[in-house]
Amino acid sequence: MDMTFSAEYEALRSEIHAFLGDNAELVAELSDQSRTSGLQYVPRFPEFAALAVAAGYYGRNMPRRYGGAERPYDAIAALIIREEFGQAGLPDALPGMGPRLLAPTLLAHGNDWQKEVFLPPTMAMKLHWCQGYSEPEAGSDLASLCTRAELDGDEWVINGQKVWTTGAQHADYMFCLCRTEPGALRHEGISYIIIDMKQPGVEVRPLRQLTGDSEFNEVFLTDARAPLAHLVGQRGAGWKVAMTTLGHERASMGAGDGTYGRQVEALWTRACTPDADGLRAIDDAGVARDLCQLEARAAANQFTQYRILSQAAAGQGTRTVSIMSKLVGSEIFQDIARCHAQMAATDLLETPAGFRLGSVPGNPAAWNALYLRSLGYAIAGGTSNIQRRLVAERGLGLPR
Amino acid sequence: MKFDLSDEQKQMAETLDRYFAAVWDSQRLHAHLAGGGVLDRAGWRKMSELGLFYMVSEPTQPGDPLALDAAVCAEQVGRHAVPGPVVPQMLAMAAIGRLQSAGHRDTWLAALGSGDAVASFAFGKAGAPVLAPCARDADLLVIVDLADGHIWVHDLKRDGVAFGADRNLDLTRRASVVAPADPPLHAEHVPGLRGWLRDLSRVLVAADAFGGASRCVEMATDYASSRQQFGQPIGRFQGLKFQIADMAVEVEPWRALWWYAAHAIDVGRPDASRMACLAKAVITESYASVGRRTVEVFGGIGFTWDADVHIFLKRAMFDLVWPQTAHALYAEAAEERALAGIPVAGQTA
């Protein structure tokens, strides 16, 4: 056990400090704007992204010729970047469906032409992406999806409906799962196809969430077209390609950048602050117990990330623990929200606003947004019950 | 940065796991219960050959992984529900090994280290009775006063020792309320030791509880995988499957917490005491909760004396209250935070 960092890594930490300091004004603007908008849509974000890629902090796994920083795999460096960027209110990697989900998938399964055309503008934050997986009749049971793609000469013709499509209203392209092999077994008839969103056959209708925001959409595909060359991987191999993306999505959701610890610290502060009648929530033994447990869970989650990372750096797997990450994280998140609501007074009735994932709410409206937003976290990227099944079957080995 | 056990620690855990699995199988554990929980002295001596009791007895260099080594052992003790005051004896030796006046120190260490003698351990006040694990089996009782740092070593085999109420729920570590007879064999004030012993005791019990809790998850998983009803293993039903997944998800993250707390004690990190306090509270609570849920997974057989589950559940109940209750630890941690007050705006974000 060694929690110190060698001189090389301490140097990296100072270097990141200096980098963030040199760009302090831009960092502050982005951190502030990201409270109300997805960072990838903030106008000055590409400017910062380019600087962070050039400095070797963002796009580390992506080859230079595709717009990445091309750094050797280094779990410790990734941890330091995550902690330092997290402290500054910034994500530890380029945000959005493109860099997070499409880029690693394309790197693993795309052909040279696809990588050259799509990766550089994606990494430069010039292309926005959305994920076309879920359908009205294919939620947790994703493999029952029925959007069809049929070949017409050298073009796919796509018909069907997608739903819960985050960012579809801003997206240039969708990476979409379509059924291309009628009669094949359910997992074997699916293909992964890139569809241009700016065409007549694509209609996007925003859905209003219970938070009041509209992040996700319904997408109607009516004779939408995509070139044959937009097929990623083999025909009928789309399920395997998609699982790469899903793995990346869940791993990115369980990550520990210290956010929960900072949120719990804010809860302690609230609990220690006397209300109008001079009463403090911390003097309630039930609240004190909940806060202690949350502090322990946030700490355990953070140390578990260190454990996963250390074992990964040593080339060892931590399968069961990694599978648990998303479920553990979403439960802590929900309980932080519940704990705050338990302490709140009529400020609980303020219109939710101004919270983004990874931040510490600074006012009642933002805490209310967290209270509601944490519900979505337990659903997106595979519901908590789906996660329980994965933990039980793939982690513990219980019978299917 | 390497947040993982060393190869030596992993090897030590494996050795103990194999040894305890062979010695303390289900049959032997039930024989121990049938015998009323009386310590098997020959087995105690045999166990000492693993070097277990010496784990924290020798003062070493700052930064040596003393607490983590001992906690890795305590995990295996908990995992196999090993009867006897293993953790109390480690703590007693930790205190005795740091007495400044030589006196009988080395004699006691040799007798305890070789398993010829048995020690109990308690936090308490001069003259006041204490709840001491395995007191009726023990030769020595070490009492540490957390308020002023006094350490007393008492002879439990002499005349005049008053054994009060027995607390025999956990027959692997039956405890008694003991009023030791004065004068003590030894009394000394060792500066700077009480905080370390308090934190160490918490981490060791937390590790014991983690070992037991993760064993419960394994037992539940194995049973649900083999027990057939409605023509299939009951673990195929989601109702049960999700219960077991939730048990695993509650327990597994705690491993990193007690690893951290033990390491933090060893290297003197500023949050060592707080993390040891929280780890003891939350992990023992989880153990008790998971122990109860394991009974439910097993159904009727889980409710019988002949099943192993109740042995673990009762150890969980012991761990929950010894040496302090989770309730007291939460109050302590909350008070510490309340005294720290409200940070200046902006410092927490």
What CATH number has the domain bearing residue B255? Answer: 1.20.140.10
Q: Measured between beta carbons, which residues in chain B are less than 8 angstroms from residue A9?
A: 1
Residues B126 and B228 in one domain: no
- Asked whether residue A168 is domain-assigned, the answer is yes
| CATH label of the domain that carries residue A353 | 1.20.140.10
Nearest to A333 by CA among A383, A297, A284: A297
Contacts B6 to A, Cβ<8 Å: 1
Mark whether B48 and B71 lie in a shared domain. Answer: yes
Report the alpha-carbon distance of residue B264 to residue B252 in Å, rounded: 20
Specify the 3-state DSSP secondary structure of A240. helix
Residues B251 and B207 in one domain: yes
Q: What is the CATH number of the domain that holds A195?
A: 2.40.110.10
Residues A278 and A390 in one domain: yes
Contact between B53 and B22 under an 8 Å Cβ cutoff? The reply is no
Burial class of A221 by CB neighbour count within 10 A (0 to 12, 13 to 18, 19+): buried
Dump pLDDT digits (tens) for B67-118: 999 999 999 999 999 999 999 999 999 999 999 888 899 999 999 999 999 9
CB A230 within 8 A of CB A182: no
Last residue of a domain, one of A179, A208, A238: A238
- Please name which of A44, A16, A22 lies closest in space to residue A31, comparing C-alpha atoms: A44
Nearest chain B residue (CA) to A258: B349
**CB nearest to A1's CB, from B3, B224, B349:** B3
Q: Could you tell me the two tokens for A136? A: 């009205």
Is B1 inside a domain boundary? Answer: no
Kindly state the tokens that stand for A66. 């595709």
**pLDDT number for residue A123:** 97
Kind and range of the H or E run holding A302: helix A285-313
Beta bridge partners of A202: A221
Which residues in A lie closer than 8 A to residue B226 (C-beta atoms)? none
In a domain, residue A288? The reply is yes
Q: For residue A105, give both structure tokens.
A: 């998938």
Catalytic residue among A249, A265, A295, A350: A249
Last residue of a domain, which of B160, B189, B218?
B189
Mean pLDDT, residues B143-157 taken together: 96
Chain B residues in contact with A398 (beta carbon < 8 A):
221, 224-225, 235-236, 241, 244
> Is B185 among the domain residues?
yes
Per-residue pLDDT of chain A (400 residues; tens, 9 = 90+): 999 999 999 999 999 999 999 999 999 999 888 776 788 999 999 999 999 999 999 999 999 999 999 999 888 898 899 889 988 888 889 999 999 999 999 999 999 999 999 999 999 999 999 999 999 999 989 999 999 999 999 999 999 999 999 999 999 999 999 999 999 998 999 999 999 999 999 999 999 999 888 889 999 999 999 999 999 999 999 999 998 767 666 655 555 678 899 999 999 999 999 988 999 999 999 999 999 999 999 999 999 989 988 888 787 777 788 889 899 999 999 999 999 999 998 999 999 988 887 788 999 999 999 999 999 989 988 899 999 999 999 999 999 9
Same domain, A223 and A262: no
Catalytic residue flag (residue A249): yes
B86 and B185 housed in the same domain: yes
Cβ proximity of A283 and A271 under 8 Å = no
**Is B345 within the bounds of a domain?**
no
> A1–B248: do the CB atoms touch at under 8 Å?
no
Cβ pair B214, B252 in contact under 8 A = yes
pLDDT of residue A253: 57
DSSP state at residue A189: S
Number of domains in chain A: 3
Closest CA to B295 of B210, B186, B219: B219
pLDDT single digits (tens) B179-236: 999 899 999 999 989 999 999 999 999 999 999 999 999 999 999 999 999 999 999 9
In a domain, B212, yes or no: yes
| Residues ≥6 apart with Cβ < 8 Å to B298 | B219, B220, B223, B307, B309
Q: Which residues contact B157 (CB under 8 A, 6 or more apart)?
A: B139
Do residue B163 and residue B52 come from a single domain?
yes
Question: In terms of domains, do A227 and A281 share one?
Answer: no
Residue B346 counted as domain residue: no
Does A300 sit within 8 Å of B259, measured CB to CB? no
Question: Would B305 be classed as within a structural domain?
Answer: yes
Contacts of A5 in chain B (CB under 8 A): 1
Mean pLDDT computed over B286-304: 98
Shortest distance, CA A74 to any CA of chain B (angstroms): 12
Q: Quote the minimal CA–CA distance from A369 to chain B in Å.
A: 17
Q: Are A230 and A177 in the same domain? A: yes
Q: Are A239 and A380 contacting, i.e. CB atoms less than 8 angstroms apart?
A: no
Domain stop point among A208, A238, A268? A238
- In this structure, are A165 and A262 located in the same domain? no
Q: What is the C-alpha to C-alpha distance for residues B317 and B230, in angstroms, rounded to an integer?
A: 34
Helix (H) or strand (E) holding A144: none
Helix (H) or strand (E) holding B165, with range, is: strand B162-167
Q: Which two tokens stand for residue A365?
A: 């409206």
Residues B122 and B29 occupy one common structural domain = yes
CB contact under 8 A, A4 and B1: yes
How many Å lie between the alpha carbon of A273 and the closest alpha carbon of chain B? Answer: 7
Same-domain pairing of B322 and B243: yes
Residues B289 and B200 in one domain: yes
Last-in-domain residue among B189, B213, B244: B189
In a domain, B2, yes or no: no
Give yes or no: residues A218 and A258 share one domain: no
Tell whether A213 is covered by a domain.
yes
- Give the minimum alpha-carbon distance from A316 to chain B in angstroms, rounded to a whole number: 11
Report whether pLDDT(B345) > 60: no
Quickly count helices (H) and strands (E) in chain B: 12, 9
Residue B149 sits in the same domain as residue B264: no
C-alpha to C-alpha distance for B60 and B65, rounded to whole angstroms: 9
Residue A110 covered by a domain: no
- Residue B100 is part of which domain span? 7-189
Using an 8 Å Cβ cutoff, are B177 and B155 in contact?
no
Q: Based on the domain organization, do A218 and A301 belong to the same domain?
A: no
With an 8 Å Cβ cutoff, are A265 and B348 in contact?
yes
Specify whether A266 is located in the same domain as A379: yes
- Two structure tokens written together for B220: 């539940």
Of the given ranges (A355-359, B156-160, B275-279), which has the lowest mean pLDDT?
A: A355-359
Count of alpha carbons within 13 Å of B322, Cβ hemisphere only? 29
At what angle are helices B66-79 and B86-96 packed, to 10 degrees? 160
**pLDDT (0 to 100) of residue B348:** 40
Same structural domain, B80 and B163? yes
Assess whether A271 and A230 both reside in one domain. Answer: no
What domain range includes position A225? 129-238
Q: Helices B326-340 and A285-313 sit at what angle, rounded to 10 degrees?
A: 90
B159 shares its domain with B89: yes
CB-defined contacts A:B, below 8 A:
165
Counted domains in chain B: 2
Beta strands in chain A, from DSSP E residues, in sequence order: 129-132, 148-152, 155-166, 173-179, 190-196, 202-206, 216-227, 231-232
Are A111 and A100 a contacting pair, CB within 8 Å? no
Q: Are A262 and A348 members of one domain?
A: yes
End-to-end CA distance of chain A: 37
Q: Are strands B186-189 and B150-155 parallel, antiparallel or unpaired?
A: antiparallel
Is B20 a residue whose pLDDT tops 50? yes
Same domain, A363 and A280: yes
Percent over 90 (pLDDT), chain B: 92
The token duo for A240 is 């395997």
Q: Which residue of A260, A303, A311 to mutate against B (max B Cβ within 10 Å)?
A: A303
Report yes or no: B155 and B120 within 8 Å, Cβ to Cβ.
Answer: no
The residues near B288 (Cβ < 8 Å, ≥ 6 apart) are: B313, B316, B317, B319, B320
Both A212 and A314 in one domain: the answer is: no
Chain A residues lying within 8 Å of B279, measured CB to CB = 296
Last residue of a domain, one of A238, A272, A300: A238
Closest chain B residue to the Cα of A306, Cα to Cα = B3
Domain boundary among the residues B172, B189, B206 is at B189
ipTM of the complex: 0.96
Same-domain status, B172 and B198: no
Does A82 reside within a domain? yes
Write the CATH number for B175.
1.10.540.10
- Asked whether residue B344 is assigned to any structural domain, the reply reads no
Distance CA B1, CA A82 (A): 15
Q: For residue B113, what pLDDT is reported? A: 97
CB under 8 Å to A54, separation ≥6 — which residues? A69
